[in-house]
């Protein structure tokens, strides 16, 4: 089974690139972020025609997440627990049936947090603590689980072209990285880093100043695996070619393949 994540930066603007990529990569499950539309405006029929079931958690103009799956989607939960008054659509979780079992999958759009310090950064750190608490409770189920999405976290200096430029950014501040390590150390493996030590592996390049052409990027989209999923990991990759196509998102898909 192949599970992918992609921050599409508006689903309506990405219909053609998505169709092309789905045909080429043939993922079984896709976690989408920044769909930037309400549930009723999601182009559900297009994906159903391509053989996918669709679960969305949309929002007008901003944010919005979704899960596509060729296998049935069960136990859909929208929103991350603990957000008193948090109306951002940034989290959707579901259980996907696989041969002889199931895998729990979440599509995550973690807050950007800039400018830092400030209320947006406070919201980011609070959201990360909610994610940590929820991940801990889910890990107690001891089942295959993939928490995939745009974490808006650069985990290490090896995950950014020019670390010095990012030292005061909410994506790279020590407190951000420390919180991400806290989540990782619960027992979640980064699929890309489980399979490669290469530098220069990025998932986002700014639209401005020719960032992609210079490979001036950052690695912020991650698939985090429970040990029961990591044990079945056979490959992982980043589809950077989508960034060179027509009307690209500023993020590219990241995927992991499993023997289940």
Partner DNA sequence: ATGCCTTCTAGCAGAAGA
Name the segment binding DNA (CB under 7 A); options: 132-140, 189-197, 202-210, 223-231. Answer: 202-210
Say how far apart CA 119 and CA 170 lie, in whole Å: 12
Asked if 34 is part of the footprint of DNA (rule: CB under 7 A), the reply reads: yes
Q: How many CB atoms lie within 10 A of CB 129?
A: 14
Q: Which is nearer to DNA, 36 or 134 (CB)?
A: 36
Residue with tokens 């508006």: 10
Contacts of 36 (CB under 8 A, 6+ apart): 9, 10, 11, 12, 59, 61, 62, 63, 64
Say how far apart CA 246 and CA 161 lie, in whole Å: 24
Q: Report in angstroms how near the CB of residue 11 gets to DNA at its nearest.
A: 8
Say how far apart CA 54 and CA 167 lie, in whole Å: 38
Q: Which is nearer to DNA, 67 or 154 (CB)?
A: 154
Asked if 17 is part of the footprint of DNA (rule: CB under 7 A), the reply reads: no
Strand-pair partners of 7: 33
Q: Which is nearer to DNA, 51 or 210 (CB)?
A: 210
Q: Are 92 and 65 in contact (CB under 8 A)?
A: yes
Asked if 209 is part of the footprint of DNA (rule: CB under 7 A), the reply reads: yes
Q: Report in angstroms how near the CB of residue 223 gets to DNA at its nearest.
A: 17
**The one among 5, 9, 107, 226 contacting DNA by CB under 7 A:** 9
Asked if 12 is part of the footprint of DNA (rule: CB under 7 A), the reply reads: yes
For DNA, the binding residues (CB under 7 A) are 7, 9-10, 12-13, 34, 36-37, 60-62, 111-112, 114, 120, 150, 152, 171, 204, 206-209, 218, 220, 247, 250-251
């Amino acid at each position: 089974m192949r599970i992918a994540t992609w921050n599409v930066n508006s689903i309506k603007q990405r219909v053609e690139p998505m169709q092309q990529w789905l045909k080429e990569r043939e993922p079984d499950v896709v976690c989408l972020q920044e769909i930037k539309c309400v549930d009723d405006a999601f182009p559900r029929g297009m994906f159903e025609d391509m053989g996918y079931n669709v679960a969305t958690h949309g929002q007008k103009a901003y944010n919005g997440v979704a899960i596509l799956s060729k296998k049935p989607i069960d136990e859909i939960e929208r929103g991350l627990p603990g957000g008193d008054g948090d109306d951002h659509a940034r989290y959707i979780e579901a259980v996907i049936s696989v041969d002889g079992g199931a895998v729990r999958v979440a599509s995550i759009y973690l807050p950007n947090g800039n400018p830092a310090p400030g209320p947006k950064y406070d919201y980011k750190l609070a959201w990360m603590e909610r994610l940590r608490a929820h991940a801990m409770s889910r890990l107690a189920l001891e089942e295959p689980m993939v928490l995939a999405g745009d974490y808006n976290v650069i985990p290490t200096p090896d995950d950014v072209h020019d670390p010095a430029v990012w030292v005061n950014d909410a994506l790279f501040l020590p407190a951000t990285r420390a919180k991400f390590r806290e989540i990782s150390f619960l027992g979640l493996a980064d699929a890309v880093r489980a399979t490669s030590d290469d530098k220069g592996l990025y998932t986002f390049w700014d639209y401005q100043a020719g960032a992609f052409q210079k490979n001036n990027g950052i690695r912020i989209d991650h698939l985090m695996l429970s040990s029961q999923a990591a044990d079945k990991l056979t490959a992982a990759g980043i589809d950077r070619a989508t960034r060179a196509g027509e009307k690209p998102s500023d993020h590219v898909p990241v995927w992991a393949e499993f023997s289940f």
